Amino acid sequence: MKILVTVSESVDVDDDFEVSEMAIDERYLTYDLNEWDDYAIEEAVQIGEEIDDVEVVTVTIGPERTEEVIRQALAKGADRAVRVWDDALEEASVLDPATKARLVAAVAREEEPDLVLTGVQSGDYSFGATGVALAAEMDYEWAAVVNNLDLDAEAGVASVHRELEGGVEELSDVELPAVLTIQTGINDPRYASLRGIRQAQSKPLDVKTLGDVGVDADDLRLSLSLSSLYEPETEGEATLLEGGPDETAGELAELLRERGVDA
Amino acid sequence: MDYGLTDEQQQIRDEIRRFAENEVAPVASEYDRAEKYPHDVMDEAAKMGLLGANIPVEYGGAGYSTLETALITEELFAVDPGIGLCITSAAFGAEALIGFGTEEQKEEYLEPVARGDAIMGTAISEPDVGSDVSSVATRAEKDGDEWVINGSKMWITNGSVGDYFVVLVQTDPEAAGRYNGFSQIIVEADRDGFTAEKITGKMGIRASDTAELLFDDVRVPEENLVGNRGGGFLQLMQFFDETRTAVAAQGVGIAKGATERALEYAQEREQFGQSISEFQAIQHKLADMHTRTEAARQLTYKSAWSVDEAEDQLTMLASMAKEFASRVAVDVADEAVQIHGGAGFVDDFDVERFYRDAKITQIYEGTTEVQKNIIGRELLGKGTFS
């Protein structure tokens, strides 16, 4: 059985930052493994530990810098990695989910996975769309926002719980091959072990261009571009009450009374 | 010359930091106050394979060199020296087994430590033996195919939580020469006649276990001898350079952690209508702390690198790194408290703990004075044993 896991980096911006033209200055940015992807990797690695002959392959659309988070995934137990990047992508200000899905699908067609796990969303852009767009592109079954997964590999069925609005859980059976978008909390992601980090350095990490995965660079059809970037004016302020409910309830009531909220 | 860390080394550093921030930082004060060994954190560290960082891969460890181990030590100590020491000391004594142990000993004693199923220790100091290691008086006598051990060991890290110890004993008191006649013997904590008494009231590194070990006719099989009979002192000496480098890394970590906290606090704390980091007096303190920490780090990394790459310069470098980094740790922690003002005098802030934790790095694994003696001797071209 082969599991493909999408792995991306997510950018964290410091509390204080400066916008210079169309970007936030690099000084204020920290790149890390996308939180949702951490859970997707853990889910795949756990499946690999439970049943025999599972290969976990990660796929990333990103520049060389993303190899840092890819090595994290390999250190946590993925078997090998594919990274797709191209000068043509470097020029795009934002990669829209449909384009990302097309590129991941190009890799998936080559890999022919039984199961694709993606994070529900990325922590920075938060589109939450790449996983389902990928399913459409591949014509695979899918389930989004999965917070519980029970896989019957022999029958080729994934029994999933989906976390819906308002605390509702939907239970579905999804036939493989399928794309599942994984919600945080589904498992307890491990730290990369020291041995894992050591082994990760020699695991295969293939770097491919658009041409290598059969996508024409002149036919990227990017549907999004960044038109402006600014810091919204602060209009009001928040009061943060710290402490337990026994202290803060009174403070809150006092504040509301002061502001004219009265029963 | 290459001054950068490899991708792998950076990955180790980042993952250790993540672990320490999530698993150690939230409980550091609690274990410090209670003077309690952090078994729960140790379980998590074991899952990550942290306890056998330097144990060879074939015995279940990660097989990392002194430099990587130093990076691990630095990151853990930057978050909490007490729990950092618990984690990095779980394999104390393993180096003797790696260097001189038999295949059977390595399998029996190294693998459980790497798995997190056992804690080791090394027992050298005695109530009357500190810096002068050659006056060790704990005695092991051969009786048939067993060693019979009598005496006591003092200040033993992991003493009351450890499962087995590599103990430096006198086996041949009549041997000629001041450094002969000593041997290293493995003693399991469950042997009859073995007792450990936890030492409490330590100023710092309070989560780490320290105990006095008492040996009253403790019998162990002859195959518990590590390496050569009578070669214990020289076997031990071979690793002093590495263990001193490890303490240097502890000092760098403490200085790093204290500087980070001082920098953060200086930017938050406002006095006279501005953040105190705006005052040049504070900026100069921070600049000095950061600079000295980096200088200690470079000395430490060079010493760690020399373990594998340039052994001829190691002894002097290890003593220089240990002496300097431990002094920087004490000074920087002191300044960090100063920058915190009154807030730094109570244990609501980590710097109070760092200030107490720093001092031991100038004392254990050879005091500051012993390190300077070694540096002086090396400078004057006199060997350590001349």
* pLDDT tens digits for range B217-264: 999 999 999 999 999 999 998 888 999 999 999 999 999 999 999 999
CATH number of the domain encompassing residue B13: 1.10.540.10
Determine whether B365 is an active site residue. yes
Interface test with A, best of B23, B41, B48, B73 (most A CBs within 10 A): B48
pTM: 0.91
Question: Is A229 among the domain residues?
Answer: no
Closest CA–CA distance from residue B350 to any residue of chain A (Å): 20
Helix (H, G, I), strand (E, B) or coil at A78: coil
Least confident among A119-123, A216-220, B39-43, B343-347: A216-220
> Which residues on adjacent β-strands are paired with residue A83?
A60, A207
Which residue among B74, B93, B115 closes a domain?
B115
Phi and psi, residue B196, nearest 5°:
-125, 130
Q: Do B8 and A201 touch (CB under 8 A)?
A: yes
How many structural domains compose chain A?
1
Q: Is B18 an interface residue toward A (CB < 8 Å)?
A: yes
CATH number of the domain encompassing residue A78: 3.40.50.620
- My answer on whether B191 and B99 are in the same domain is no
Alpha helices in B80-145 (DSSP H): 81-88, 94-100, 103-105, 111-115
pLDDT of residue B348: 92
What is the DSSP pairing of strand A115-119 with strand A178-182?
parallel
User: Which residue from A67, A194, A198 is facing B50, i.e. has the nearest CB?
Assistant: A194
Question: Is A253 among the domain residues?
Answer: no
Left (φ > 0), alpha (ψ -120 to 50) or beta: where does A171 sit?
beta
- My answer on whether B262 and B129 are in the same domain is no
CATH number of the domain encompassing residue B171: 2.40.110.10
Rounded distance between C-alpha atoms, residue B99 and residue B116, angstroms: 21
Rounded distance between C-alpha atoms, residue B59 and residue B54, angstroms: 10
CA angle, A27 then A32 then A34, to 5° = 135
Q: Burial letters for B188-220: b for 16+ Cβ neighbours within 10 Å, e otherwise?
A: ebeeeebebeebeebebbbbbbbbbbebeebbb
- My answer on whether B53 and B90 are in the same domain is yes
Output the furthest CA–CA distance in chain B (Å, rounded). 79
Rounded distance between C-alpha atoms, residue B45 and residue B62, angstroms: 13
Closest CA–CA distance from residue A82 to any residue of chain B (Å): 18
Which residue among B230, B251, B272 closes a domain?
B230
Residue A15: pLDDT over 90:
no
Write down the residue that tokens 């609005």 correspond to: A165
- My answer on whether B87 and B59 are in the same domain is yes
How many structural domains compose chain B?
3
Domain with B305, as residue range(s), is: 233-379
Mean pLDDT value across residues B70-84: 98
Residue A82: pLDDT over 60:
yes
Q: Do A197 and B12 touch (CB under 8 A)?
A: yes
Q: Is B62 an interface residue toward A (CB < 8 Å)?
A: yes
Residue B329: pLDDT over 50:
yes
Q: Closest residue of B to A69, CA-based? A: B11
pLDDT of residue B383: 65
Rounded distance between C-alpha atoms, residue B139 and residue A262, angstroms: 82
pLDDT of residue A221: 84
Closest CA–CA distance from residue B109 to any residue of chain A (Å): 19
Which residue among B115, B145, B173 closes a domain?
B115
Question: Is A139 among the domain residues?
Answer: yes
Cβ-Cβ contacts under 8 Å, B11 against chain A: 68, 71-72, 75, 192, 197, 200
Question: Is B32 among the domain residues?
Answer: yes
Cβ-Cβ contacts under 8 Å, A201 against chain B: 7-8
Question: Is A197 among the domain residues?
Answer: yes
Q: Closest residue of A to B60, CA-based? A: A195
pLDDT of residue B386: 42
Residue B339: pLDDT over 60:
yes
pLDDT tens-digit readout, B346-383: 999 999 999 999 999 999 999 999 999 999 999 998 76
Residue A261: pLDDT over 50:
yes
Question: Is A233 among the domain residues?
Answer: no
Question: Is A230 among the domain residues?
Answer: no
Asked if B163 contacts B189 with a C-beta cutoff of 8 angstroms, the reply is yes
Please state, rounded to an integer, the average pLDDT across all residues of chain B.
95
Question: Is A103 among the domain residues?
Answer: yes
Cβ-Cβ contacts under 8 Å, B52 against chain A: 194
Give the DSSP H or E segment for A119. Answer: strand A115-119
- My answer on whether B216 and B271 are in the same domain is no
Give me the percent of chain B exceeding a pLDDT of 70. 99
Q: Do B8 and A68 touch (CB under 8 A)?
A: no
pLDDT of residue A101: 95
Banded pLDDT at A21 (limits 50, 70, 90): confident
Residue B385: pLDDT over 70:
no
Structure tokens at B241: 């350079």
Question: Is A213 among the domain residues?
Answer: yes
Interface test with B, best of A195, A201, A242 (most B CBs within 10 A): A195
Asked if A55 contacts A169 with a C-beta cutoff of 8 angstroms, the reply is no
Mean pLDDT value across residues A36-54: 97
- My answer on whether B216 and B243 are in the same domain is no
Closest CA–CA distance from residue A42 to any residue of chain B (Å): 14
- My answer on whether B373 and B238 are in the same domain is yes
pLDDT tens-digit readout, B173-223: 999 888 899 999 999 999 999 999 999 999 999 999 999 999 999 999 999
- My answer on whether B260 and B339 are in the same domain is yes
Domain with A13, as residue range(s), is: 2-219
Banded pLDDT at A263 (limits 50, 70, 90): low
pLDDT of residue A219: 84
- My answer on whether B322 and B303 are in the same domain is yes
DSSP secondary structure string for all residues of B42-77:
HHHHHHTTGGGTTS-GGGTS----HHHHHHHHHHHH
